[in-house]
Structure formats: structure tokens, C-alpha cells
Amino acid sequence: MTKKQKKMLVRIFISAVLMVVLHFLPIKGYLRFFCYLVPYLVIGYDILLKAWKGIKNRQPFDESLLMALATVGAIAVAITGDGDYTEAVAVMLFYQVGEWFQSYAVGRSRKNISELMDIRPDYANIERDGNLERVDPDEVEIGSVIVVQPGEKVPIDGIILEGETTLNTSALTGESLPREAHAGDEVLSGCINMTGVLRLQTTKEFGESTASKILDLVENASSRKSKSEEFITKFARIYTPAVVYSAIALAVLPPLVRLSVFGLTADWGTWVYRALTFLVISCPCALVISIPLSFFAGLGGAGNAGVLIKGSNYMETLAQTKYVVFDKTGTLTQGVFEVEAVHHNKMEEERLLEYAALAESASSHPISKSLQRAYGRDIDRARVTDIQEISGNGVTAKVDGIFVAAGNDKLMRSLGIEPVSCHRAGTIIHMTIGGEYAGHIVISDIVKPQAKEAVASLKAAGVKKTVMLTGDAGKVADQVAKNLGIDQVYSELLPADKVEKVEELLGEKTEKERLAFVGDGINDAPVLSRADIGIAMGAMGSDAAIEAADVVLMDDDPMKIAKAIRISRKCLRIVYQNIWFAIGVKVICLILGAVGIANMWLAIFADVGVMIIAVLNAIRALFVKRL
Amino acid sequence: MKKTYKIDVDCANCANKMEEAAKNTAGVKNAVVNFMTLKMSVEFEEGQNVKAVMEEVRRNCKKVEDDCEVFL
């Protein structure tokens, strides 16, 4: 609790006690008035002052004025009428209780959410003359060596020079499984070093490091306001003056009409009382606080789950997403090639792989690398001679003096050998050894284990159509799409074609549906920015992707896409609930107040009660773990 | 040029009023007040004296909402 909140709590307490005591004291007349004035002023003096200052600065229409008018009016009605001052004091008291609660709740969620994203490193350790010295991470230059001890946060991105440890990346990625790191690995700032001492060489400045970038993004996120927030701001701007004028009309017009048209008594007291109830009900605080609070909580909850959404407006878009377009490599697949199968081989698989790996040993192509990885042992280059790379087709070489060719069917035919075609989709490496066909090796980009489930969960989250874009050959693409349950595939695309396809799809959908593009942040910045909403995944450390995307998934788990949509839906649902609930209850109470059914107590509920319920509902947006 | 300032204000509606006041200050191109993070980011027009403009922004904010602060 802040000082202000504590002071207010004391005022609330004193005033409440006084009110109860006065209720049981048998005092009458002016003494009664002065007695009740004490708790009223204790609880409401600042509101009266604020209202006065508002009028002085020609900015009169705010909550303070509503409350001041309503309570002063209620006191006036009480003096002339039944002498029941309780209502006036109670209105002010409950209004302040509501304000206190709101300020407390907002303060708490501010704290909670900043704790969730607590990745800001406070210091970096630099070794000087054998001693560790704590310095401001801002002062550490690129290329410096810093030491990170167990239990400390990695302050700046860097490469491990020395040491071995497990890292807790949960603040960055929402992933609770610790990650192993060894010398030579890149470490991102914001991770927590759990076990060993690390010596890091920094690769970035503090301001450019992952932790700083993410914090920047999170802090600026709720500044990009959504349509609902803008609506509420505009609404509040016209709403308060409108209510004040209607209240005046309600106080003045009916009595005048009664007097002049029907010749009845004016009954001023009743109508002024109704107008005052009107003012109390009308306070827009429930709306103006709960909507931004919902978005703030939603963004915070999402950030904690490893989904960084760059603004409330993107949350709105994400909730309306009906089309999800994937760039295959790096989102649905790992972007790493791996040997999947060996077919039609006469010799043992391992032998065949050995020949292939040796023949391809000079190449750094990802496919050659995958063959070398599949072979798994050190390559003795001395066994290989006469290596010839036939660009785009394959390699020929002599391994242990035997002629080996590894490559596509074109290479085989040029050697006068008819390859056996493969039924499997993927990149096929045919092999001839010693002039004879020796079988083929199927290499494919591995599909992520959660990819299929991820596509299904998108469907379950209400996505109408999933589309996959890829540069791969049609057969490979079709099979991957079929396995994963993707609705539509565009294959053999060049990077530039992807923008075109996305534009085509953007034209296809209806006005209210939104299209999300999911990429791995490599070479797809233009598409990310062209789509209604660009989602970059596995983007930790890729600055270009963090810049271009609207939503950044901190790890490369495709399940997070559906999760991001569900988080946004939940948040928007809460926002709409609050808008409808708050406006609905107020309108009903306003009508009841105008016709005289609602009294001041109901008015207090319509104001403070609705606000408390709306704030509690808004905080719900923070809880996204089980979505 | 864009700069972010820390602010202190108690209610969301007051924050909206501060935003409006800041926007209408001479020399300010655009201003966004974020009630949840208690920050005001101000975009200045070209060639303005940032310090002087912010003093004015602060004065204008105080005018619409007595109980607020902009930390310069």
C-alpha cells in the first residue's frame, strides 16, 4: 500500500465509525446537520476541492463534480426534508471505498505484471585484477568478458568462453524446462544461470540485448491502444457532460411541466432527489479503469507465457484471426534436414551412409551436413580423392579408390544409370558405388513434434483456414500438409511470391476476418508486415523479426500460436463483458432512477459495485496458464 | 523526436485528460499516456525546445488534473 492509500484507509475508517455512532445518537435539527458534516468532510473534502478546482480551470465535467453535486444536493434535500444525512455521507464514503479499491487493485496488478516480466538485470560482474566488480550493465562494452555466477541473471547477450551450466529461460520463453549450455554456446540476457559459473564474452550492448529489447516492447505494448479503449475514451468524453445536463433537465423539467401543464404541485424535492441519484449512477469509472486494466493484464499474462504482443490493438486483431498462413520452414518444421530413410540398398545402411558422407565431406550444404551427421563418426578425409561437385545435381568422388556418385536423378542418368524413384516425399540422394546403383537416401526437413497438434488446436480455436507457403517441391509440400491437416498449400514459391500469395489471401477473406502470417523471422519481414498480424516465432535474438512482427513467440513451439489467439480471445471477452455489464447496469439504474424506483443505495451499487466487479473481472485476464 | 516520461496520476479518466492536454500543447505532435505503466510518451515537432515544451505540458496537465505529476 502506498502512503496515499493508507491515509485514505484511515479516513474511510474514521468516517464509517462516526457514521455508525451518529446513527444511534438521538440528536435533532441543526446539531444533527453539523454532526453529520464531520464524517462527510473527513471522507469527502478532497473531492469537493477537486470539483471546485475543476470548475475554476474550466474542466468541470468529471467524477469529482458528479459526486460533489450529488452529495451536496442530497444534504440540501435532507435539510429541507426528512433530515436523513446518512445517504449523502454513504455515497461519498462508498465512492471513496471504490476509488481506494481501484487504486489498490491497479497498483497490485502493476506490481504483479512487472514481476512476471522481471528480466531486467541490475548489474554485470566484470573481472578486474582477479576481483569481481559489479558495474552498471549499460557501461559494459561489446566484447568485454563478464562473469555470471549461479543464481544470477545473464545481463547481456554473449558467448560462453568458459563454464558449463543449466539455464532457466522461463522468464524469456515461458518454458519451464531448463536448458543446458556449454562453452561456445550463445546465451541470451534475461536467462537465469542456475548451476555453474560462466565467463561470457558479450556480443551486444546492454541496450541492444534481448532482455532490454523485450522490456522495451512490453512496456510500450499497452501504449498502442485498441479500438475498445479508444471507444471508451471518446465515450467518457461525451458521456459525463451528457449525464450532467440530463440530470439538470430531470430536476427542472418535470416539475415545470407539472406546474404549467397539469396544474399540480411542483414536487421539487422528489425530482431533485431523482436527479441526484442519476448523477451517482452515471460515474463512468468502471469503464475507464476496467478496459485498459483488462488489456494490461492480458498482455502481461501473455508475456509470462512467452507470447509478446506488441499492443492492445494487436490483441484485438489476434482475437479475430480466421486465417493462419505458415511459412513452412522454421514454424511447422525445424528447418534442420535429417536423413529419414535409406531404400533399395544392397549393402548395409550404415555402409551406404558412410560412402555418402565421405563423398560429400567437402561440401557445407545443409544436405551434406545432414549426411555427415547421420554417419555420426569422424570423417577420414584421406580416404576420399577426386571430389567433383556438379552444381545443383550432386557429387562424384573416389572413396577408398572406388568411384562413388551421390546426387539427384539427373546425375544418375548422366552416368548412364537408371535410378529407382522414391514414393517418399523429401529430397532424394541416389547413390552409385563402383558403377552400380546402390540405393537412395531420403532426407527431409523434420516436422516439429507438436506441429500437428498445433494445427488442430488452431482449428479448435476457431481458425477457418490454415495455409502453408513453402519453397519446397510440390510433392514434399503436399505430403507435409496432409500429415499436419493443413487446408491449403502453395509450393515452389520464391520469397517474393510469398507476399503475393498473402495479398491474394487477404483479398479473399471478408472484412471482419483477420489473417495472421507465421514466420520464423528469417527473410520474411515483408510478409510479416503485410499480413493483418505478423507472428514471428523462435525469434529470441533475431532483431529483424522482433522489429517486423506484431506478435513475437519467444520459443519455437507452434502450440503457442493457438495459445496467443486464446489469450486474446479471453481478454477481449472480458473487455466486452465489462463494457456491456457496466453500461447495461448503468442504463437500467438510470431508467429506474429517472422513474423514481431506484434510491441512492441502488445508485451506489451501480457506481461502486459495478466498478469493483468490473475490476475483478479485468484481473482475470492475467490468468492464462491453463488456456 | 520522441521521449518518454514517468508520470503519477490516480485515475484512468484523469490520465485520458492528461493525454488530451499534452496533445493540445504547442510544440507537441502527439502524446500517449499509458495509465497502466504510468508513462507519457511525447512526440515533439521539429526544432522544438523539448525542455520548455515539457514544462508547458506539465502546466497544462496540472490545469486539467490537479492531482498529477509529470517527472521531467
DSSP A302-337: HHHTTEEE--HHHHHHHHTEEEEEEESBTTTEEEEE
A438 and A462 part of one domain: no
The answer to whether residue A166 scores a pLDDT higher than 70 is yes
State the cell numbers at A506: 487477404
- Kindly report, residue by residue over A525-552, the tens digit of the pLDDT: 788 888 899 998 875 556 677 777 889 8
C-beta atoms of A289 and B12 within 8 A: yes
Bridge-based pairing state of the strands A551-553 and A533-537: parallel
pLDDT at position A17, please? 92
Contacts of residue A441, Cβ cutoff 8 Å, sequence gap at least 6: A339, A341, A342, A343, A352, A353, A356, A371, A428, A429, A431
State the cell numbers at A606: 451501480
Mean of the pLDDT values across residues A216-238?
A: 80
**Other C-beta atoms lying within 10 Å of the C-beta of residue A460:** 10
C-beta atoms of A219 and B39 within 8 A: yes
- Kindly report, residue by residue over A561-570, the tens digit of the pLDDT: 999 999 999 9
| Minimal CA separation from B67 to chain A, in Å | 8
* Mean of the per-residue pLDDT values of chain A: 84
A235 phi and psi, to 5 degrees?
A: -60, -45
Distance in angstroms (rounded) separating the CA atoms of residues A73 and A625: 49
Task: List the single range of A55-64, A501-510, B18-27 with lowest mean pLDDT.
Answer: A55-64
Specify the number of domains making up chain A. 3
Looking at the domain assignment, is residue A261 inside a domain? yes
Residue of A nearest to B41 (CA): A223
- Kindly report, residue by residue over A322-353, the tens digit of the pLDDT: 999 998 877 888 767 788 788 888 888 888 88
pLDDT at position A605, please? 83
Q: For residue B36, which of A613, A616, A300 has the smallest C-alpha distance?
A: A300
Beta carbons of B11 and B72 less than 8 angstroms apart: no
Distance in angstroms (rounded) separating the CA atoms of residues A612 and A102: 7
Distance in angstroms (rounded) separating the CA atoms of residues A484 and A229: 38
Find chain A residues with C-beta within 8 A of B13's C-beta: 62-63, 236, 284-285, 288
Mean of the pLDDT values across residues A357-373?
A: 80
**Other C-beta atoms lying within 10 Å of the C-beta of residue A235:** 17
Q: Is A225 touching B (CB cutoff 8 A)?
A: yes
The answer to whether residue A212 scores a pLDDT higher than 70 is yes
Beta carbons of A107 and A621 less than 8 angstroms apart: no
CATH number at residue A399: 3.40.1110.10
pLDDT at position A131, please? 82
Q: To 5 degrees, how large is the angle CA A155–CA A161–CA A167? A: 50
Residue by residue, DSSP assigns A522-559 as SS-HHHHHHSSEEEEES-TT-HHHHHH-SEEESS--TH
pLDDT at position A542, please? 65
Residue of B nearest to A61 (CA): B64
Q: Is A59 touching B (CB cutoff 8 A)?
A: yes
C-beta atoms of A285 and B32 within 8 A: no
- Kindly report, residue by residue over A392-420, the tens digit of the pLDDT: 678 889 888 889 998 888 888 888 888 88
State the cell numbers at A232: 471508451
Mean of the pLDDT values across residues A609-624?
A: 90
| Minimal CA separation from B45 to chain A, in Å | 20
Length of chain B counted residue by residue: 72
pLDDT at position A527, please? 86
What is the residue range of A610's domain?
Answer: 3-114+223-296+570-622
A517 and A576 part of one domain: no
A339 and A442 part of one domain: yes
User: Where are the strands (E) in A185-255, listed by range?
Assistant: 186-187, 192-193, 198-202
A326 and A339 part of one domain: no
| Minimal CA separation from A618 to chain B, in Å | 13
Looking at the domain assignment, is residue A607 inside a domain? yes
Distance in angstroms (rounded) separating the CA atoms of residues A92 and A373: 75
The answer to whether residue A177 scores a pLDDT higher than 80 is no
CATH number at residue A466: 3.40.50.1000
A473 and A440 part of one domain: no
pLDDT at position A139, please? 84
Find chain B residues with C-beta within 8 A of A219's C-beta: 37, 39
- Kindly report, residue by residue over A180-209, the tens digit of the pLDDT: 888 888 888 888 888 888 899 998 888 888
A323 and A373 part of one domain: no
Domains present along chain B, CATH in parentheses: 2-71 (3.30.70.100)
Mean of the pLDDT values across residues A442-471?
A: 88
The answer to whether residue A71 scores a pLDDT higher than 60 is yes
pLDDT at position A240, please? 78
